[in-house]
Every structure is written in structure tokens, then in C-alpha cells.
Amino acid sequence: MPNWKGIVGIAHAPDAFDSYCHSLSWTQWRPSFVALHNTGAPSLAQRPNGFTQQHMANFVTFYRDTRKWSAGPHLFVDDKQIWVFTPLTVSGVHSPSWNKIALGVEMLGNYETDAFEKGRGKLVRDNTVAAIATLSAVLGLDPDAMRLHKEDPATTHACPGKNVDKAKMIQAVKDLMAKRHAGDHAPG
């Protein structure tokens, strides 16, 4: 088994996640983009209260002990919060072609069937947009570079599901970044 990179295992509201990311030192590893995933299983119905600390421990068992991976995705996002799983400053394991170059963001839900623009799915979407906007701002990532897991040529399934519209996600990230930085001026 490869050396396990450990987990952070802490949940943040979007504003606290932004502060957390600004406190990190990004010297060991610097990703080029965000790879967006959905959990599929569990679905929203299977996690009516979102993720818990126990769920994070279960993910450790799954990724480290069952899969024998060195890490898992970087974030698990539900309708209430953003969970930091694999430390953001090291590479994770989430997409065969992109593990060394992308942050892996897992959204709670099965977006082949779960709604993504309303109800709990929209709350997951909104928290995911906030997380990606923060990561893009902190790391200087272009939101247009975001990729869906299904775009990985070494992947065979439709993650994050047909209900996730990539163009709408990218635009929502750009809109939030612009809103957060409204009134900022370039030095004159």
C-alpha cells in the first residue's frame, strides 16, 4: 500500500473555507485546475443530513484500506458545508489522468438522477461554486480550466452526471468571483 497522505477531516461553511484556504502555504504542490465529481453513491437521499465525521472516517477506510490508494479527493461538498479531506497542499487521488495536476472536488449526490438546480442539489451546487471560486482566487486558477471527471480519457463513467452543466458551473464561479471582488481596482 502506498504511504497514506492523511486527511484534514474538517468541515467549513463557505466563508470559513475561504479563510482556511488563504491561510495555507502552497509550496509542496500546485494544481492547475479543479476536477469536478459527484459521489453517485451515496446519493442525496442516502445522506439526508449531509456528511459527518464518521463518513469521513469511512472514506479513509474505503480509499486507504479497500482501494489501497495513497489519498482520496480533496473536498467533499454537501448541502451544508465543505469538508476538506485530502490536504489541499498535496496531490490527491480522484481521476486517473489528473491526480498529479488537479484538485478533486466531490459533490454529494447522484446527478444522473438528482436535481442540481433546485432543492438540496442546488445547495450542494452553491457550496461547490463557493469552494471552486475560493480555490481559483487563492491559486490563480482559470475557472474555464475546470474539468468534469467524465472528460478524463481514462474514465468510463458519466461522473458528475448529466444534470451538471459545465458551462453553467464555470459561469457561476466567475460570477461569484466578480461579486466577491466588486470594487477592486488595478493599481493605477
Strand arrangement, sheet containing 147-148: 10-12, 82-84, 75-77, 102-107, 33-38, 147-148
| Residue 3 located in a structural domain | no
Q: Where residue 18 sits, what CATH number does that domain have?
A: 3.40.80.10
| Residue 61 located in a structural domain | yes
| Residue 2 located in a structural domain | no
State the average pLDDT over residues 10-26: 96
First-residue to last-residue Cα distance in the chain: 54
User: Rounded to an integer, what distance in angstroms lies between the CA atom of residue 42 and that of residue 19?
Assistant: 29
| Residue 146 located in a structural domain | yes
Cβ contact 104:73 at 8 Å: yes
| Residue 153 located in a structural domain | yes
In three-state secondary structure terms, 150 is helix
Q: What is the pLDDT of residue 187?
A: 52
Q: Nearest CA to 76 among 68, 86, 66, 67?
A: 86
User: Rounded to an integer, what distance in angstroms lies between the CA atom of residue 49 and that of residue 144?
Assistant: 32
Q: How many domains does the chain have?
A: 1
| Residue 161 located in a structural domain | yes
Q: Nearest CA to 136 among 91, 105, 168?
A: 105
| Residue 102 located in a structural domain | yes
Q: In this model, does residue 159 exceed pLDDT 90?
A: yes
Domain holding 109, by residue range, is: 10-180
| Residue 110 located in a structural domain | yes
Report the chain's mean pLDDT, rounded to a whole number. 95
Provide the pLDDT confidence category of residue 181 given band limits of 50, 70 and 90. confident
Provide the pLDDT confidence category of residue 183 given band limits of 50, 70 and 90. low
**Percent of all residues in the chain with a pLDDT value above 90, rounded to a whole number:** 93
User: Rounded to an integer, what distance in angstroms lies between the CA atom of residue 147 and that of residue 141?
Assistant: 12
2-6, 10-14, 83-87, 165-169: segment of lowest average pLDDT: 2-6
Q: What is the pTM of this model?
A: 0.95
The amino acid at residue 122 is K
User: Rounded to an integer, what distance in angstroms lies between the CA atom of residue 19 and that of residue 180?
Assistant: 13
Which residues on adjacent β-strands are paired with residue 106?
Answer: 37, 76
User: Rounded to an integer, what distance in angstroms lies between the CA atom of residue 82 and that of residue 156?
Assistant: 27
**Please, where are the H alpha helices in the chain?**
14-22, 53-60, 119-139, 166-180
